[in-house]
Amino acid sequence: MDRVRIDKWLWAARFFKTRSLATDACDGNKVRIGGAAVKPAKDVKAGDLVAFSTGHADWELEVLGISDKRGSAAVAQALYRETGASRAAREAESERRRKFAEPAAAIYSRPTKKDRRSLDKWRGG
């Protein structure tokens, strides 16, 4: 096997918990191969450069291996290599999110008047 569908590969490489989530990411134009948005049925092969977003993190990977079966984490990590720029950007974003938490993240219900004032102040209003 030298090619596999991108949604199967993303699932097998353990970036998405289910294959349907990987398919939804492809349908939502969040997955790119070589800079072009792709559909879930697009084939990926070794040597391709895959970029995608998982909500809170943006990944850019070089495909090293092909698999259509989900294996252990060690097997999954052998399927790709993350680019240095991608790793640095993810770590910087993680650090930014850790240091500067959004005030609305702590609100679990309808905001109170105090919460709204705090949000307005944070927005600069």
pLDDT at 57: 87
pLDDT at 88: 96
Residue of 61, 59, 60, 64 whose CA lies nearest to 78: 64
Domain contains 104: no
Range 73-96 average pLDDT:
94
Domain contains 55: yes
Domain contains 49: yes
What share of residues in the chain are helix, strand, coil (percent, to 5)?
40, 20, 40
Domain contains 25: yes
Domain contains 100: no
The total number of structural domains in the chain stands at 1
**How does residue 83 score in pLDDT terms, banded at 50, 70 and 90?**
very high
Q: Which CATH number does the domain housing residue 40 bear?
A: 3.10.290.10
Assess whether pLDDT exceeds 80 at residue 107.
Answer: no
pLDDT at 98: 85
Q: What is the pLDDT of residues 13-51, one digit of tens each?
A: 999 999 999 999 999 999 999 999 999 999 999 999 999
Question: Containing domain of residue 9, as a range?
Answer: 4-82
CB count in 10 Å sphere of residue 63: 20
Residue of 65, 10, 16 whose CA lies nearest to 42: 10
CB count in 10 Å sphere of residue 85: 9
Domain contains 123: no
Domain contains 118: no
Q: What is the pLDDT of residues 43-53, one digit of tens each?
A: 999 999 999 99
Domain contains 69: yes
Assess whether pLDDT exceeds 80 at residue 102.
Answer: no
Range 100-119 average pLDDT:
81
Interatomic CA distance for residues 122 and 120, integer angstroms: 5
DSSP string, 62-86: EE----SS---HHHHHTTEEE-HHH
Sign of CA dihedral 62, 6, 65, 4: negative
